């Protein structure tokens, strides 16, 4: 049976060579390779500082905690995202407040942010206070979903107008741009992921990018238990002296082994993105010709999509399906049939308000955030990776056509 995975990382011998050198050096925990990797990513994205950590989830937690998010506070986030966005907010002790997205871009609807602020909060002593809970609105955690930047310019305007903080969830968006500005360059701490489903990988891993030197220093301390000095700095002299610990921090350190893999991956990054963009364009053409039941992903004028994932929507009108719930069932059956044939696909991501913890805690209903609910039920991620051939892509689209025709 011909097998097509949803994605596979793109490795060559370079990663292996880097890892061999690191193992031979005897220094495998956070050290010089992590520092080099931070520099390489920050330089690529045109940002002053990179703070490497164990995942994007820990990057989000670290950045938000360092920017003062905690108990008794709210953070606004989109409802359609990987659950880690909201989980990281919960990890700080704060409460996520979800708003809806645009179905076309899968990104946060900035008008819904304004609406939420204006309906849910009132000004008291210069702060925005939640009318139901008394929580103070800390800020916004926008997501650049699937490799396409959200309208971060407008998010920044709202944040300025209401004096709110912004931490960007850019897990999927390394290399994404608006105009010439890379993700990471919009003036806020921004958090990226190096999970294997992302464009480049370190196995697991993440990084916070920031132009703010003081914030970077604080995050570097917090990622290593709140220590004022890191282990590799201690190794350069006075190694016997224990550092000071002025804050209760975490162990969020990336290893030098991971950073070595990351450094080899950075060199391939432009190639990977160029290949993925080419393949996304081919999918667009094939789908236009063969699958009128599919709505292809958009790249708005001036935006540069990196296609971490190539995510389509099912057009239920075209399919003659009555509603989103029935569409979801149809979508799942389609994905199952494809899996049985050997083609791996996935739903785009989750409507977080419908996931057990959040639904039970806040009593959300599907219709509270209808676009997120629709994208949860109707989105389909098609396989996309560098090693995929044109023929593989044709096979995927033709197979979907066949499965749809057999219904
Ligand atoms: C939008 C978003 N945020 C956060 C994460 C969490 O990233 P990590 O797996 O590196 O913790 C992901 C991972 O898929 C994601 O897609």
pLDDT tens track for 6-18: 999 999 999 999 9
pLDDT number for residue 235: 67
pLDDT number for residue 272: 98
> Helix, strand, coil proportions of the chain in percent (round to 5)?
45, 20, 40
The candidate with the shortest Cα–Cα distance to 57, out of 136, 146, 161, 167, is 167
In-domain check, residue 398: yes
What residue ranges line ligand 1, CB within 6 angstroms?
55-57, 81-82, 84-85, 143, 169, 171-172, 193, 195, 206
In this structure, of 113-122, 174-183, 226-235, 249-258, the range with the lowest mean pLDDT score is: 226-235
Reported as type and span, the H/E element at residue 218 is: helix 213-222
Show the tokens assigned to 51: 């703070």
Query: Closest Cα to atom 7, ligand 1: which residue?
Result: 56
Domain boundary among 205, 237, 266: 266
Per-residue confidence at 276, pLDDT binned at 50, 70, 90?
A: very high
User: What CATH number has the domain bearing residue 259?
Assistant: 3.40.640.10
Same domain, 62 and 179: yes
Average pLDDT over residues 356-371: 98
Q: How far is the CA of 240 from the centre of ligand 1 (A)?
A: 38
Q: How far is the CA of 186 from the centre of ligand 1 (A)?
A: 20
Helix (H, G, I), strand (E, B) or coil at 381: strand
Same domain, 374 and 228: no
In-domain check, residue 6: no
pLDDT number for residue 240: 73
The candidate with the shortest Cα–Cα distance to 158, out of 189, 128, 190, is 128
In this structure, of 106-120, 194-208, 223-237, 284-298, the range with the lowest mean pLDDT score is: 223-237
Same domain, 261 and 319: no
Same domain, 66 and 211: yes
Residue 264, classified by CB atoms within 10 Å of its CB into exposed (0-12), middle (13-18) or buried (19+), is buried
Ligand 1 atom nearest 195 alpha carbon: 10
In tens, the pLDDT along 284-329 reads: 999 999 999 999 999 999 999 999 999 999 999 999 999 999 999 9
% pLDDT > 70, the chain: 98
In-domain check, residue 209: yes
Contact between 103 and 312 under an 8 Å Cβ cutoff? The reply is: no
Ligand 1 atom nearest 84 alpha carbon: 4
Same domain, 201 and 282: no
End-to-end CA distance of the chain, in Å? 22
In-domain check, residue 2: no
State the pairing for strand pair 190-193/181-182.
Answer: unpaired
In tens, the pLDDT along 37-86 reads: 999 999 999 999 999 999 999 999 999 999 999 999 999 999 999 999 99
Same domain, 120 and 21: yes
Domain boundary among 244, 266, 288: 266
Domain boundary among 266, 295, 315: 266
Q: Residue 18: give the domain boundaries.
A: 13-266
Q: How far is the CA of 158 from the centre of ligand 1 (A)?
A: 25
Same domain, 298 and 244: no
Non-local (6+) Cβ contacts of 302 within 8 A are 178, 179
Look up the pTM and report it. Answer: 0.97
Question: Could you please report the per-residue DSSP string of 87-145?
Answer: HHHHHTT-EEEEE-B-TTT-SB-HHHHHHHHHHHEEEETTEEEETTT--EEEEE--B-G
Same domain, 261 and 295: no
> Residue 145 carries which DSSP code?
G
In-domain check, residue 4: no
pLDDT number for residue 231: 66
Average pLDDT over residues 105-128: 97
The candidate with the shortest Cα–Cα distance to 4, out of 374, 337, 338, 288, is 338
Query: Closest Cα to atom 14, ligand 1: which residue?
Result: 82
Handedness of CA 251, 256, 257, 260 (dihedral sign): positive
Query: What's the CA gap between 184 and 56, in Å, rounded?
Result: 14
In-domain check, residue 3: no
Q: How far is the CA of 172 from the centre of ligand 1 (A)?
A: 7
Same domain, 311 and 243: no
Q: How far is the CA of 402 from the centre of ligand 1 (A)?
A: 33
State the pairing for strand pair 136-140/73-78.
Answer: parallel
pLDDT number for residue 242: 77
Per-residue confidence at 232, pLDDT binned at 50, 70, 90?
A: low
Same domain, 195 and 244: yes
Average pLDDT over residues 380-384: 98
User: What CATH number has the domain bearing residue 341?
Assistant: 3.90.1150.10
Helix (H, G, I), strand (E, B) or coil at 240: coil
Helix (H, G, I), strand (E, B) or coil at 23: helix
Query: What's the CA gap between 319 and 200, in Å, rounded?
Result: 36
Q: Does the structure show a pLDDT above 70 at 234?
A: no
In-domain check, residue 8: no
Same domain, 97 and 206: yes
pLDDT number for residue 271: 98
Ligand 1 atom nearest 143 alpha carbon: 1
Same domain, 310 and 262: no
Query: Closest Cα to atom 16, ligand 1: which residue?
Result: 82
Contact between 194 and 201 under an 8 Å Cβ cutoff? The reply is: yes
State the pairing for strand pair 136-140/165-166.
Answer: parallel
Ligand 1 atom nearest 58 alpha carbon: 11
Mean pLDDT across the chain: 96
Q: How far is the CA of 47 from the centre of ligand 1 (A)?
A: 21
The number of C-alpha atoms within 13 Å of 385 and in the hemisphere containing its C-beta is: 18
Count: domains in the chain: 2
In-domain check, residue 401: yes
């Amino acid at each position: 049976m011909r097998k097509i995975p949803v994605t596979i990382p793109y490795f060559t011998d370079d990663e292996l060579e880097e890892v061999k050198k690191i193992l031979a050096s005897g220094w495998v925990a956070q050290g010089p390779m992590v520092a080099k990797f931070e520099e390489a990513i920050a330089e690529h994205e045109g940002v002053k500082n990179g703070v490497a950590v164990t995942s994007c989830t820990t990057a989000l937690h670290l950045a938000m905690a360092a920017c003062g998010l905690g108990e008794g506070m709210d953070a606004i986030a989109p409802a359609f995202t990987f659950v880690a966005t909201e989980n990281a907010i919960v990890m700080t002790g704060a409460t996520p407040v979800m708003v809806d997205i645009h179905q076309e871009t899968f990104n946060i609807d900035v008008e819904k942010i304004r609406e939420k602020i204006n309906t849910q909060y009132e000004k008291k002593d210069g702060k925005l206070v939640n009318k139901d809970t008394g929580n103070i609105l800390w800020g916004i955690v926008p997501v650049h979903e699937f490799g396409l930047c959200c309208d971060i310019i407008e998010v920044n305007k709202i944040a300025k107008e209401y004096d709110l903080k912004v931490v960007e969830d850019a897990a999927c968006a390394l290399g994404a741009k608006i105009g010439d500005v890379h993700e990471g360059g919009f003036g806020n701490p921004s958090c990226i992921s190096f999970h294997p489903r992302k464009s480049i990988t370190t196995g697991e891993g993440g990084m916070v990018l920031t132009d703010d030197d003081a914030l970077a220093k604080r995050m570097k301390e917090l990622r290593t238990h709140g220590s004022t000095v890191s282990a590799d700095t201690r190794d350069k002299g006075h190694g016997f002296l224990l550092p000071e610990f002025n804050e209760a921090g975490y162990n969020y350190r990336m290893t030098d082994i991971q950073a070595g893999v990351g450094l080899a991956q950075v060199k391939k990054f432009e190639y990977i993105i160029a290949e993925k963009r080419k393949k996304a364009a081919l999918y667009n053409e094939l789908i236009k010709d063969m699958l009128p039941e599919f709505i292809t992903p958009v790249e708005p004028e001036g935006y540069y999509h990196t296609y971490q994932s190539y995510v389509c929507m099912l057009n239920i009108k075209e399919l003659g399906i009555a509603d989103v719930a029935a569409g979801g069932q149809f979508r799942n059956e389609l994905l199952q049939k494809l899996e049985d044939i050997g083609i791996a696909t996935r739903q785009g991501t989750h409507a977080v308000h419908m996931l057990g913890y959040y639904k039970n805690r806040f009593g959300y209903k599907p219709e509270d955030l209808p676009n997120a609910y629709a994208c949860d039920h109707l989105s389909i991620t098609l396989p996309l990776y560098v090693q995929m051939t044109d023929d593989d892509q044709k096979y995927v689209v033709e197979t979907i056509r066949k499965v749809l025709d057999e219904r």
